[in-house]
Amino acid sequence: MNTQKKINNYGKEFWKKHIKKWDKSGLNKSEYCRQNNLGYYSFLDWIKRINSEKMSCDFVKLPLNSKQTEDCYKFTLDDRIKIEVPLSANPENLTTIIKALREKL
């Protein structure tokens, strides 16, 4: 039995550092937590919290008379994901894409 106490109650910066280290480690979440003596469910909770902060956004209505030099809107999320959406895209489809990305990140 592991007698070491799991680390569960540290602040956001502590968890951000571990999430970055885990992301670069190549380990699955469970193994990373075991090797670093972290509470697995706390780790999952902080991943969800931090990712939801990254993904929170406000929509801005663009004026209809604005000129577009390209035929799509371009979005970059967290420097890892680039999305190009045609100007003619259905807003419901865009909402579905954003929800799917939130679940995957």
Whether 76 and 63 share a structural domain: yes
Same domain, residue pair 100 and 65: yes
- Assess whether 102 and 84 both reside in one domain: yes
pLDDT for 67: 42
Does the pTM exceed 0.85? no
Range of the domain at 94: 58-105
Domain-embedded: residue 7: no
Does residue 4 lie in a domain region? no
31 within 8 A of 3, measured Cβ to Cβ? no
Residues 65 and 103 in one domain: yes
Q: Are residues 67 and 46 in the same domain?
A: no
**Between 102 and 36, where is the model more confident?**
36
Q: Helices (DSSP H) in 1-105: which residue ranges?
A: 12-25, 29-36, 40-55, 91-104
pLDDT digits (tens, 9 = 90+) for 68-89: 456 777 766 666 667 777 777 7
Across-strand partners of 83? Answer: 75
Cα distance between residue 82 and residue 74, in whole Å: 7
Same domain, 71 and 98: yes
pLDDT tens per residue, range 25-60: 999 999 999 999 999 999 999 998 888 776 555 555
C-alpha 74: how far from its chain's center?
A: 18
